[in-house]
Structure 1
Amino acid sequence: MYRNGLKRVLDFILSLAGLILLSPVLLIIALIIKLTSPGPVFFKQKRVGKNKTYFNILKFRTMRTDTPKDTPTHLLANPDQYITPIGKVLRKTSLDELPQIINILKGDMSIIGPRPALWNQYDLIEERDRYGANDILPGLTGWAQINGRDELEIDVKARLDGEYVERISFLFDCKCFFGTITSVLKHEGVVEGGTGELKKEVQS
């Protein structure tokens, strides 16, 4: 029942409430971005949704307008050179993700689920196929996000996404949600250009 209907109902109610309650914060962040760097307030990017359909994810823009398009951050030689001063703060605190509340409200995403892959992250998409993780709505946060985030290797991230698919329930979503709050407050797993950092640490 939860997986097939109630989850979407809760997503809609909570995202609507979040959009209303957080509107002052969203407006302040938008104003700061506009005043501190040239370019649009929001960043749109083609991402992979449920059943590998595409949608445009919304984020607050944290990078300069001359950043290579559709390139995952971990593939940039020096991602820090492209990040705006306010962008560093927004990314570290995950506040840049807040506009995705609109994606959740529209039904493109869920609050909890696998993070939506870039359309050209073929390795991640292929790995997720093995676990059925492309068959559900992607999420604002998820099981992989609180178990390593940017530090995870692609195969480990996909396996954790598959574990989430198997364990979907209201209580497990609550665990992911509150685990995300803890991770954000501790700034855990946020490494610019850092995919696979956990493996690198073990090998070093």
Structure 2
Amino acid sequence: MADRDAERGRGLTPFALRLRLTFLLMGVDLIAFMLAFAIIEPLKTLVGSWFSVMAIAMPIYIGMAMGTRAYGGHALRARAGSLSAAVRAVIFTFAILFLISYFFRVEQQISRLALASVMALTVALIVAGRLTFRSVIARIWPTQIWRELVIVDGVEATDVPGAQMIDAATINLVPDLRDPAMFNRFAALLHGIDRVVVISTAERYQNWAMMLKGGHAQGEIVVDTLGRFGAIGLGKLGQYDTVKVAAGPLDVQQRLLKRTFDLALCVPIIVALAPILILISVAIKLDSPGPVFFRQRRIGRNNAYFDIIKFRSMHVAQADSQGARSTQRQDKRVTRVGRLIRKTSIDELPQLFNVLGGSMSLVGPRPHALGSLAGDRLFWDVDESYWHRHVLKPGITGLAQVRGLRGSTVLREDLTKRLQSDLEYASNWSLWRDIRILFMTFGVVVHHNTY
């Protein structure tokens, strides 16, 4: 059966196939709506006719789904984007239904609790339906939905899975801007193609760009030099074309959310721990002469310096202000109280004041001292991407720490593993991940690699 369906799909252009699948996907969504209303209706939470409410909701949803791009080629290919767009459309739809029930005073006919129940069930059914639909079409039509063509001209290139590759020289295809016949041949190649990628020598970039601009497909050129500095997109400044190499991992809303979360936890924690902080301060003062707090210059967000605050755990005369010497087992520089607070990570608690002041966050890459070494080399000499970890504020705890990557960096590999975790965190930040890391931190407060 699947083979027969696949054969039918091969007889269609990608556009025609996507159009049919889009209508099928609409059907899947509408069935989810009908099921949700049908399941809730027998519970008698809707006093009036559920059918009339459903009849209003479904066209509103289709319109909202169009607006959120829950349909089309993108929705058929990108699972996460498709689900997110559909869920947003459901929420918008029921928000309108709530407004209708309020302004037209039909609360007696429509229960808001029932609407909320239908909304939750609709979201669940649409997500389940779309996941199933996506799985089926991926199995039946793995390559027909979105067709990609790679043209290789004068260079060597490796095969790209799922893409059709042709060698320009083999078929005598030359980007000659003065030859209409060549444009006609190029148009024939583009039939049924959605995306064209050209891999050529630099001398032909401009000609290929002009050829691509005249076609219907999405056209791209592989520029080898862009990979050397990690290009992430293109921009424009006046008459200049620019290449984006950095965008920052968080937008303004995300930074505000992260800061609000930090303050919402930091302030009550400081108040709750105040007696403990005072007791530790007294113990440090009685144990050895010197200040209670130890301040050290570290590298923070945007690679700017800041002073980190910790409980002093070493004798003042032997403290390492640059952090070039890692702490060893039975290190004589560490005081008696210092040994306890380092082992339990209590020495890190004053960093809550760094969080309060805005130089740190509760969760983020751990800040390093300027003289920190991995083996016999400074951290940034081991890996140049070390500087990239500072796109976010440093944290009291982080992804590397909950993975057990703490303590001395005796080997260069010790730094490399931590750096990989830091960059992973920076590129995939979410508030829920911060919350998970905070909970996981309690399980690694005492660590065998901390002295």
Shorter chain as denominator, the TM-score bin is 0.7 to 0.9
| Matches of 1:170 and 1:65, distance apart in 2 | 39
Which residue of structure 1 lines up, in the alignment, with residue 277 of structure 2? 26
Deviation string 1:25-61 (CA, Å, 9 cap, x unpaired) is 1001001111111110000000111011111100000
Deviation string 1:179-200 (CA, Å, 9 cap, x unpaired) is 110111xx235333xxxxxxxx
Which residue of structure 1 lines up, in the alignment, with residue 441 of structure 2? 180
Matches within 5 A, 1:37-186: 37-72=288-323, 75=326, 80-121=331-372, 123-125=378-380, 127=383, 129=385, 132-148=388-404, 149-150=406-407, 153-184=414-445
Deviation string 1:115-158 (CA, Å, 9 cap, x unpaired) is 00112337334647357311110000000011121266011111
Say whether 1:190 aligns with 2:449: yes
**TM superposition shift of 1:73:** 6.9
Which residue of structure 2 lines up, in the alignment, with residue 195 of structure 1? none
**CA 1:85–1:142 in structure 2 vs 1: closer, same or farther (change >3 Å)?**
same
Name the amino acid aligned to 2:364.
G
**CA 1:189–1:178 in structure 2 vs 1: closer, same or farther (change >3 Å)?**
farther
SS of equivalent residue, structure 2 residue 399:
coil
Task: Say if 2:323 and 2:370, in contact at 8 Å, map to a contact too.
Answer: no
SS of equivalent residue, structure 2 residue 396:
strand
Task: Say if 1:48 and 1:55, in contact at 8 Å, map to a contact too.
Answer: yes
Aligned-residue Cα RMSD (Å) equals 2.2
Task: Say if 1:73 and 1:79, in contact at 8 Å, map to a contact too.
Answer: no
SS of equivalent residue, structure 2 residue 331:
helix
19-28 or 115-124: which moved more? 115-124
**TM superposition shift of 1:113:** 0.3
166-175 or 123-132: which moved more? 123-132
**CA 1:178–1:24 in structure 2 vs 1: closer, same or farther (change >3 Å)?**
same
SS of equivalent residue, structure 2 residue 391:
coil
Say whether 1:6 aligns with 2:257: yes
| Matches of 1:33 and 1:58, distance apart in 2 | 15
Name the amino acid aligned to 1:150.
G
Task: Say if 1:3 and 1:168, in contact at 8 Å, map to a contact too.
Answer: no
Name the amino acid aligned to 1:85.
R
| Matches of 1:128 and 1:116, distance apart in 2 | 16
**TM superposition shift of 1:4:** 2.5
| Matches of 2:350 and 2:288, distance apart in 1 | 18
Q: TM-score, normalised by structure 2?
A: 0.40
Task: Say if 1:11 and 1:110, in contact at 8 Å, map to a contact too.
Answer: yes
6-15 or 87-96: which moved more? 6-15
SS of equivalent residue, structure 1 residue 80:
coil
Name the amino acid aligned to 1:164.
Y
Deviation string 1:78-137 (CA, Å, 9 cap, x unpaired) is 761100001010001100000000000000000000000112337334647357311110
SS of equivalent residue, structure 2 residue 306:
strand
SS of equivalent residue, structure 1 residue 188:
coil
| Matches of 1:77 and 1:154, distance apart in 2 | 17
| Matches of 2:407 and 2:448, distance apart in 1 | 5
Return 5+ residue gaps in structure 1 as ranges: 193-204
Return 5+ residue gaps in structure 2 as ranges: 1-250
**TM superposition shift of 1:12:** 1.6
Task: Say if 2:362 and 2:395, in contact at 8 Å, map to a contact too.
Answer: yes
**TM superposition shift of 1:75:** 3.7
Task: Say if 1:131 and 1:162, in contact at 8 Å, map to a contact too.
Answer: no
**CA 1:155–1:98 in structure 2 vs 1: closer, same or farther (change >3 Å)?**
same
**CA 1:150–1:77 in structure 2 vs 1: closer, same or farther (change >3 Å)?**
closer
**TM superposition shift of 1:5:** 1.4
Deviation string 1:155-189 (CA, Å, 9 cap, x unpaired) is 111111001112211111112111110111xx235
Task: Say if 2:365 and 2:422, in contact at 8 Å, map to a contact too.
Answer: yes
**CA 1:36–1:155 in structure 2 vs 1: closer, same or farther (change >3 Å)?**
same
| Matches of 1:134 and 1:41, distance apart in 2 | 28
SS of equivalent residue, structure 1 residue 144:
helix
